[in-house]
Chains A and B, each alone.
Chain A
């Protein structure tokens, strides 16, 4: 058997060489990332795992735009940006690479104001399965030249090409962050309330829902000047006077760095979980979904209620997964395992990584065959190639 090799690739030429080698040897290249290492179907037994190094290539400081290689960690990227009073508004851990963030369309509570990585991305460089260095998009904030392959690759789990460089929008570090912690007795009215906040001066920059003990807590944050934050926090509090379901439990002002640290701490539980699942659903279904989860005894839950996304952890079994499925189908939701349960004697077959099947997945197989006909990149991880079992 061929011995496993784990190259760390630090140049485009190096990457191209590895792609050519993969084609000749019919040995696929696999990059599953750190946080997402267990997402999707397992790689084929015979493969080359690799990683990329990364750095900032160019920071167009006055344009609030940055070009960086895909192997750069978010920690390093933001540290460098912060030195110029800028930041990349993605809630993700410092050790994740930019490439991983793009491959998995990562976002977090700051999506309320800044969108997901899909919205921040201006251009990509990737190596295709023929060994060509492809450049799509660019560094301008508007660009409609050619097909938008930049966005096609967002969430592609590394199956369509190896991203090695990205150009992104950045934002100015706010003067301060105002954080208000709310305890919510029931999530039934939350979607309606979120819309009401969004169309009022209380429109949040960030919203993070967490289940702590038996209670739901919503962290609402505002980024701005202290005067602006005063206005928005007061508007939020005013809105609560009419609601008996929601009350303020804590309020603080902090720097963006402190907010980032707090975010890392809030996410720490996810890496400790034996199983972890992401559930995506239309935002108004949050009550139905969370009700089902808590009924099943799942209590480690956090997420972005404004955008219908929850992370659910703990000891989630295959049975629970099956029990959840009808609710997901009823609500038009879907789920993916980030850390699936290990097959046991009771359930020897691995769980399906993604469910229920979505309408465009079959067509995506065509896209995979077009862009990676030789199945060189993370084959079968999400898109099952023809003939794959």
Chain B
């Protein structure tokens, strides 16, 4: 097959070793963590600096090729999938930390710097970059910003947008835009940085990030509590929130999930339980015991069967390891699973989890739950066999039912994964036509020709997601959604 004329020119900009066109190598870039959606890019470009990104964007604009930005590809909504033979610009080789400024409490990093790299680099300073998504070891900071990533400690410390001071972004025409990149904690005028956070690469390619650094807590108390019913566990979460306490994290697993994790890793969890909470408080050591006692009292009032608490780093690491291994455990019991993401008001959690279970029964599906309960950020995991088209259909129908229910109780269709291609069809449920048009108008202000990660985040006629279709069509990512 003839090579597209743009490839040679792109090679001149970034060097041969930073352009991938081999079909086998391109397969790695066919999808992100939302593996149902797949699309083969024309090429993958791996620039090393902003100037190269800008030059590539100008060239791609001249050739009228579409562009999809990508970090490490850990996204969970298909946001970095190419669907029309476009080019991927992957920032993973832009991985430098440019500056760590402890007096201003700011780190300036290239977008491809992995979250864990910055975390480890500043570990000895007493400060940290707070966002800690589960993909922290692989995910880039640019990716964290693009998806406004959350994580386990967002309950107390906020999501990515709360920790970004400024951004350098390359627009679709190659123009370099800097928003509040002066290490100030504030700016004058509308907050473009805020708009770019979570914009899923549809407005520009993030190339540098000004990260706010915050104190790294040194003292913790970790509480593990199990309950006979998951309703009691949910009620405990709602009751803790209602006291006004703000723990660092409150994570929950339902009964099926406890069994799956215990069978896989033998942590010693009580498998009679139908709900497990892992709660952590951080802060001033002398007062953490009081906070922990308050939490234990609430758990006991809600019929906790078993409670364990610790201030010990080793046991803490074990307990968190159990939480982090949940997705690995799921892989042992099901060939395929769909991890959903929605967020609801915390007080509604008992109702929502009960309804999720009902929906699973209605569709004949096993749904396991492991989620950021303190944020109200649920992640029902729907198990299925991808070789069974009827199961895929059931999964999609159940997903839709769950999301619609979440919206009906004041929730949202995504708390941290983003819309990507996965939730395009649900955007009409969430927003009215005027709001969606306003999103599109903003997109056009940044990218008038709509070449940059187009048709993601904002529903359009360009990308038709056939929920129940298993055969690939030319303009459908994966088709099997």
Interface residues of A (CB under 8 A from B): 60-65, 85-86, 105, 107, 115-116, 118-119, 128, 130, 132-136, 138-157, 159-160, 171-173, 191-192, 195, 198-199, 201, 203, 224-225, 227-228, 231-232, 235, 280-284, 307-309, 332-334, 336, 354, 358-361, 363-364, 366-367, 369-371, 382-383
Contact = CB atoms under 8 A, between A and B. Distances in A.
Interface residues of B, number: 91
B412 interface: yes
B416 to A, nearest CB: 6
Interface string B242-256: 111110000000000
Contacts of A283: 103-105, 185
A138 B411 contact: yes
B78 interface: no
B158 A119 contact: yes
B180 interface: yes
Interface string B112-140: 00000000000001110000000000000
A48 B104 CA distance: 43
Interface in B42-73: none
B345 A148 contact: no
Contacts of A198: 105, 127, 214-215
A160 B444 CA distance: 16
Contact of B216 (A107, A119, A199, A383): A199
B195 interface: yes
B376 A142 contact: yes
Interface of B: 101-106, 125-127, 147-148, 150, 154-155, 158-159, 161-162, 177-192, 194-195, 197-199, 203, 214-216, 238, 241-246, 284-287, 290, 343-347, 372, 375-377, 410-419, 423, 427, 430-432, 434-436, 438-439, 441-445, 457-458
Nearest to A224: B287
B409 to A, nearest CB: 10
Given A141-B343, A144-B148, A231-B286, A134 B188 contact: no
A225 B244 contact: no
A145 B182 contact: no
Contacts of B443: 147
A132 B158 contact: no
A300 B179 CA distance: 31
A359 B442 contact: no
Given A142-B375, A156-B190, A281-B184, A147 B101 contact: no
Contacts of A363: 177, 192
Which 6 pairs between the two chains have the least Cβ-Cβ distance? A172-B244, A151-B194, A199-B126, A132-B434, A284-B103, A142-B415
B434 A225 contact: no
Of A86, A154, A198, the most chain B CB neighbours within 10 A belong to A198
A281 B372 CA distance: 36
B410 A138 contact: yes
Contact of B186 (A116, A159, A172, A369): A116
28 contacts: A105-B191, A136-B435, A138-B412, A140-B345, A142-B159, A145-B431, A146-B430, A146-B435, A149-B439, A152-B191, A155-B187, A173-B244, A195-B127, A199-B126, A227-B287, A231-B287, A232-B284, A280-B185, A280-B187, A280-B188, A284-B104, A332-B182, A359-B177, A360-B189, A367-B445, A369-B445, A370-B441, A371-B442
